[in-house]
Every structure is written in C-alpha cells, then in structure tokens.
Amino acid sequence: MNLLVTGAAGFIGSHYVRTLLASDAPPRITVLDKLTYAGTLTNLEPAHPRLKFVHGDIRDAELVDKLMAEADQVVHFAAESHVDRSIDGAADFVLTNVLGTQTLLDAALRYRVEPFVHVSTDEVYGSVETGSATEDDPLRPSSPYSASKASSDLLALAHHRTHGLDVRVTRCSNNYGPHQFPEKVVPLFVTNLLDGAKVPLYGDGRNVRDWLHVDDHCHGVELVRTQGRPGEVYNIGGGTELSNRDLTGLLLEACGADWDSVTYVEDRKGHDLRYSVDWTKARTELGYHPRHDFTAGLAATIAWYREHRAWWEPLKRREEPG
C-alpha cells in the first residue's frame, strides 16, 4: 500500500506520518509538501526506508498527477492554516486550500485513488454559541481561512456525490502538542514565556475552544481512513473546553509567570466566540475517543518546548522582521 500524505512537514501531518512509521507494519508513505514557512523537514525522518519526501506544491497538476498514479490512498493535510494570516491576505488560502485541494481531487479521480481523506476543521461551522455542531449542521465560516477550508471540504464531498469517489472528511477541534509552529496560541505563548517575553491575549479572552491532543486527532484520522464510510463527515473533538483566558492562566502557571506577562491586544476581526463539535458519530461508528488527558497532555507539551529550543528557535527567528 502506498499512501500519499500531503502537508506532512507541518504539525499534524508530521505527527500522523511519524505514528504510522513507528507502527508494526508501516505502509509506504510519500509526503508531498511545499515547505512553506510552516513546514520543516526537522519534523520528519526523511531517511526512513518507508518514507519518500517530495518537495512540491499541491497545485502543481503535473507533479500531483505523477504522484497520484503511484498512490493507493490519500490523506490530505496540506493547507495554509493560520487564521490571522488569512485576515492579512486571503489569496494564498484560496490558492492552496481550494485550488490545491481541487487539483488533488481531480488527479485522485483520474486514478481512482481512494479513500481520499480530507482533513478539515471545526471552524467551518462558524461560532457555536450553545451546544455542539453535528456533521449535518450548515457551514457558516467566519474567517477567510475557514471559508477556504469550507470550500475545499464541500469540493471534496462534491467529488463523492458527483463522481462516486470515496472521499471522507474529518472536522476536528483545536490541536495542541509538540512540533506545532510557534505562531498558534499554545506554542507561541509557551515559547514567549520561556524567553521571559510577554504574551498577547485577544480582546477579553472569553473565546472558547475545544482542545484536542494531536495524537488523538491523528488516531481519529486513521480510524476514518481505515474504517470510515465513503462520502461521510466525521467530527473529531477533544472534550476539554477552555476560554483563552483560562488557557492563558494554565500556561502562565506552568511557565512560572503571572498576569504581568500578558498584553491585552485588540480582538481578532470576526473572532468566533466558541467552537464545539459533537463527535458522537466517530465514537459510535468508529470507536473513537480522545485518549490523552488534557492536564497531562499540556504539561508534556510544555516540557517538549522546554527541551526542544533547537527546534523552535530557528523557526521563530526566521519569522522575525528583517
């Protein structure tokens, strides 16, 4: 079995690939990744005998055609993934998330490479003020990022409904864990605090997110790839809801800092108040449940950043102006 995994030099895709390679009988894996600012080969083991790394763009139709001709299944993680960057400029988000996904889907259709697992996000449902979104709820994305993810999510499902391609979509909540690029809240705050710097908290910090360990997310994606049904959407949640303010309090305490280390910054434009997914379907159909306790998972994540300065310092430095 030859598995094509896109975007696996990033946070979640690399965890997925490392987990598969560490299993008893790993498939042959081809990773296609453009190595944008968010991708780094230090997340992968490029020398592993079951792994082939291809540096390229998911919009490169010729390259994608060639890789798809050799593939049996696809798991598609590649995306522009940071909401704030999509507010500064949406073009790359449309090009990669929408056009790139369509390029992959068209090639998968040509060679009937299936299942095609499309990794989407809970952000496509928009703000969920009460209760939890189920897979049948309407998509009401708020940011250019989530709008581009909703577009690709619907394009993927359209390839199932129109062409019968075995497409499966996952919509997960906020991931945390090691190897996350230090622009997202957990690694940004932790690395700032480890450096004795301040952390920026949006607005009044009341925005609520559901936290999912990256390992639980990858487990859910694997269950969907191996046991999911064609054309179905599966929500993958973590089960720990926290306001950004409460999360900040936990990170400050764990890093030995206090609220003097917090700078309150103007709220993000269009900031969704709350995300929450109902993952009953993944639980009942696939036996999914999050296996990582949040308190222990967060402590281990902070310890990882403490011990892996050599991983994150160069990434942070190359993002600094000049």
Which sequence positions are flagged as catalytic?
Answer: 122-123, 145
Q: Is 215 in the site for ligand NAD (CB under 6 A)?
A: no
Instruction: Point out which span in 20-28, 71-79, 257-265, 292-300 binds ligand NAD (CB under 6 A).
Output: 71-79
Site for ligand NAD, residues 175 to 194, rule: CB under 6 A: 175, 181
3-state SS, the chain, equals: CEEEEECCCCHHHHHHHHHHHCCCCCCEEEEEECCCCCCCHHHCCCCCCCEEEEECCCCCHHHHHHHHHCCCEEEECCCCCCHHHHHHCCHHHHHHHHHHHHHHHHHHHHHCCCCEEEEEEHHHHCCCCCCCECCCCCCCCCCHHHHHHHHHHHHHHHHHHHHCCCEEEEEECEEECCCCCCCCHHHHHHHHHHCCCCEEEECCCCCEEEEEEHHHHHHHHHHHHHHCCCCCEEEECCCEEEEHHHHHHHHHHHCCCCHHHEEEECCCCCCCCECCECCHHHHHHHCCCCCCCHHHHHHHHHHHHHHCHHHHHHHHHHHCCC
- Please select the residue that binds ligand NAD; options are 2, 26, 35, 206, rule is CB under 6 A: 35
- Please select the residue that binds ligand NAD; options are 29, 34, 125, 232, rule is CB under 6 A: 34
Instruction: Point out which span in 3-11, 45-53, 190-198, 262-270 binds ligand NAD (CB under 6 A).
Output: 3-11
Q: Is 166 in the site for ligand NAD (CB under 6 A)?
A: no
- Please select the residue that binds ligand NAD; options are 156, 167, 172, 286, rule is CB under 6 A: 172
Q: Is 234 in the site for ligand NAD (CB under 6 A)?
A: no
Size of the site for ligand NAD (CB under 6 A): 31
The residue (of 120 and 261) whose beta carbon lies closer to ligand NAD is: 120
Q: Is 104 in the site for ligand NAD (CB under 6 A)?
A: no
Q: Is 169 in the site for ligand NAD (CB under 6 A)?
A: no
The residues that touch ligand NAD, with contacts defined as CB under 6 A, are 6-7, 9-13, 32-36, 38-39, 57-59, 77-81, 96, 100, 119, 121, 149, 172, 174-175, 181
